[in-house]
Chains A and B, each alone.
Chain A
Amino acid sequence: MTMHTSSTAGTLSSSRKFEFRRHPYLLAVGVFILLSIVNAILQPSFLRPAVAVSNLASFMPLILVAVGQTYVILASDIDLSVGFIISVVNVVVVTTIEALGGSGGAILAGFAAGIATGILAGLVNGLCVAVLRFQPIVTTFATGIIFAGVALWILPQAGGQVPAIVWRTYAGAVAGVPVVLWLLAAVLVFIAVFARTRFHTALVAVGGNMQAAYQTKLPVTRIRITSYVISGLFAALAALALVGETASGDPLLGGAFSLSSITAVVLGGTALAGGRGGALGSLFGAIILGLIANVIFFAQLPFEYQNLAQGLVILLALAGGVFVARR
């Protein structure tokens, strides 16, 4: 495991540091509030419910995949293949729905097939990393390429029609509450409940010191495989959200999510070394990334400067996230 030298030159008082350790997401929440204020100033319509909901709808895929990535990183591993899991699940869902005729039952079957694919992909990753003991970075890069190839094989070019009811539902409301808000609530509930399980505690222990965890008879291998399966599952859910947003299959969609999800996780205060942090921070981290893009648009910077501005802000935010996660 890595060894950090103790920080005696900390700039925070010890009580404030304690706060961050217990609640690593606080910084992310703070940045989120700050960015929302800036966004509201630059874009007056930002706080209108319809606009807020449509923003949330486009942030949802990254939120989902970042949450899944958190659990892998907590275990001190990493998953670079999530973007390509999204690609392959996306094409599986769309082709299955089309093949089965596009009825309500076909849609559900397609969704189920997609989730199964995500779980299977996570299982492959978990087996390679935890059982065969391959190095996570190179391995998930390699499996990512395989998933991308499979996606391309299933659907050689973008297409496939998904029934309009899918995207209308995603953009619509149930019982007066927008569907994406229901999804957000479900994710929040999951994060809260899951954090209190024994599995989660074991996960954090594995990430903190894998050798020690093994010696206390924790089933380390099984825990690591499970974390990859969860990551695959959430990547599949993210793909479903994308289908809701784009209503089509595209084998090239998704690649960028791998690095973005890692960025969101770090922004949220989870340590890359494992053992510290949580998915709530990653959720806010994902929203922050989306808000940064919006702010830069509405600040009306000349377009040559936009990528650079985005990169600088993200670097700053990353530094902040790391600072919070520090022991």
Chain B
Amino acid sequence: MKRTSMFLTALATATVMATGAFAQTFTIGLSNGWVGSEWRTQMIDEAVAAAEAWALNGVTVNVIVQSANVDVQGQIAHVRNYINQGVDAIIINPNSPTAFDPIFAQAAAAGILTISTDAEVSSPDALYVGIDQKGWAMMSAAWLAEELGGTGRVVAINGIAGHPANQMRVEGYQEVFAGFPGIELVNEVNANWDQAQGQQAMQTILATFGDIDGVWVQDGMADGAWRAIEDAGRVGDIVATGEIRADFIGRWAEQGYTTGASVNPPGVMASALNVAVLKLLGTELKDGVFEGRYGNALYLPIPFIDQGVFDDVMAAVDGMPGHHSVSEVVGPDAARNMFFQ
């Protein structure tokens, strides 16, 4: 007995020491430039959780978080500070697609891996891990067009004019609608991703374009738009895209909206972090895996919520606070399969 226990102890110790020999530690800096929405906070939380989960694989991932309202310059300062601190990788949700090219070049020169998420960047020194915003829009636009049977008058309510994510989405739905000769896009309005502005815009549109059949609207503005539609008593005869927050999903079920939503999951930063750690661990990316207009994008799958999967989604958000968004994280193994050799 004693010999067995000694043997077992020795084996355990050896295992621990061996794992210890391979245990790695990385420091990753997260940068988020806008805190106006719960989606962003959930994004950070899920990324931090993903970092902690790496401990199960024997990798310690320390995370520094910079999440504050900053302009582009302020966010460049985030990156500069991370470089000066000597992190191993930077994961950033950038406030501009092009303004970071020089600073990312400096990061690359310092040997730091840079990955952007949620918004693509033009820098050849950075990767993008997130969804394809244009594809995101095309998915819900296609759903809308089909739901309308290919004909109808449609209005679009958009985010901030000039914002790259917005522009990509606009390109997306315009392309889709162009393919349906029966669909007429009668107006496009900007409500700046503000729920109240979305509501106001929808009210004005309903009054002045009384015979519209469908609305393409994004994110939180969809909640506002649907309130305006409810208010006008037209829930039954208007089809509009929706959004992914738990409280909207609840009202969807209650009021019987005809809606569908493509999902931009807050988990994109967590997925990006997983890709970052895999790369830091030395795993090689597959050949030809990059896509996107800048040639540096690793696109994640885009879930879609329609009546078909609705019950599963309802179950998933059951008990979650109203501001929780439907999310999905690409874990280390899935990421390995998708992008790595």
Q: Which residues in A have some Cβ–Cβ distance to B below 8 Å? A: 43, 45, 51, 54-55, 58, 61-62, 152, 156-160, 167, 171, 242, 245-253, 255-257, 290, 293-294, 297-298, 300, 303, 306-307, 310
Contacts and interface: CB of A to CB of B under 8 A. Distances in A.
A248 B101 contact: yes
A297 B70 CA distance: 12
Given A152-B161, A307-B69, A171 B99 contact: no
Given A61-B73, A246-B99, 16 more contacts: A54-B80, A58-B73, A157-B167, A158-B162, A167-B101, A167-B102, A171-B106, A245-B99, A249-B98, A252-B163, A253-B72, A253-B99, A290-B77, A293-B77, A297-B78, A306-B66
Contacts of A157: 162-164, 167
Interface string B152-164: 0000000011111
A280 B23 CA distance: 53
A61 B74 CA distance: 12
Interface in B40-83: 64-74, 76-78, 80-81
A232 B35 CA distance: 31
Given A152-B162, A167-B102, A297-B78, A246 B72 contact: yes
A158 B97 contact: yes
A213 B71 CA distance: 40
Contacts of A293: 70, 74, 77
A54 B70 CA distance: 18
Nearest to B163: A252
A156 B167 contact: yes
A257 B71 CA distance: 9
B262 interface: no
A297 B77 CA distance: 10
19 contacts: A45-B84, A58-B73, A157-B162, A158-B99, A167-B102, A245-B76, A245-B102, A246-B98, A246-B100, A247-B101, A249-B98, A250-B99, A252-B162, A252-B163, A294-B77, A303-B65, A303-B68, A307-B68, A310-B68
Contacts of B65: 303
B122 interface: yes
B98 A248 contact: yes
Interface in B181-223: none
Contact of B98 (A160, A298, A306, A310): A160
A248 B96 CA distance: 10
B73 A245 contact: yes
A158 to B, nearest CB: 5
Contacts of A160: 98
A250 B72 contact: yes
Nearest to A243: B99
Contacts of B77: 58, 290, 293-294, 297
Contacts of A58: 73, 76-77, 80
Nearest to B30: A303
B51 to A, nearest CB: 15
Contacts of B122: 159, 248
Given A43-B84, A307-B69, A158 B76 contact: no
Interface of B: 35, 64-74, 76-78, 80-81, 84, 96-102, 106, 122, 160-164, 167
A307 B74 CA distance: 12
Contact of A246 (B35, B84, B101, B167): B101
Contact of B96 (A62, A171, A246, A290): A246
Contacts of B74: 293
B76 A246 contact: yes
Nearest to A157: B167
A293 B163 CA distance: 25
B296 to A, nearest CB: 15
A300 B35 CA distance: 18
A60 to B, nearest CB: 10
A85 B28 CA distance: 37
Contacts of B70: 293
Nearest to A304: B67
- Of B64, B66, B81, B167, which is in contact with the most chain A CB atoms at under 10 Å from its CB? B81
Given A248-B99, A249-B98, A303 B67 contact: yes
Contacts of A245: 73, 76, 99, 102
Given A43-B84, A251-B162, A158 B96 contact: yes
A51 B161 contact: no
Nearest to A298: B81
A83 to B, nearest CB: 9
Nearest to B166: A157
B110 to A, nearest CB: 11
Nearest to B165: A157
- Of A45, A242, A303, which is in contact with the most chain B CB atoms at under 10 Å from its CB? A303
Contacts of A310: 68
A290 B70 CA distance: 12
B38 to A, nearest CB: 14
B81 A297 contact: yes
Contacts of A256: 71
Nearest to A305: B68
Contacts of A252: 96, 160, 162-163
A228 B210 CA distance: 47
B68 A306 contact: yes
Contacts of A45: 84
A260 B106 CA distance: 27
Top 4 nearest A-B pairs (CB, nearest first) are A248-B98, A246-B99, A256-B71, A157-B167
A240 B71 CA distance: 17
B158 to A, nearest CB: 12
A43 B66 CA distance: 16
A249 B84 CA distance: 26
B176 to A, nearest CB: 19
- Of B66, B67, B71, which is in contact with the most chain A CB atoms at under 10 Å from its CB? B71
Contacts of A297: 66, 77-78, 81
Contacts of B160: 252
Contacts of B96: 158, 246, 248, 250, 252-253
A45 B98 CA distance: 28
Contacts of B163: 157, 252
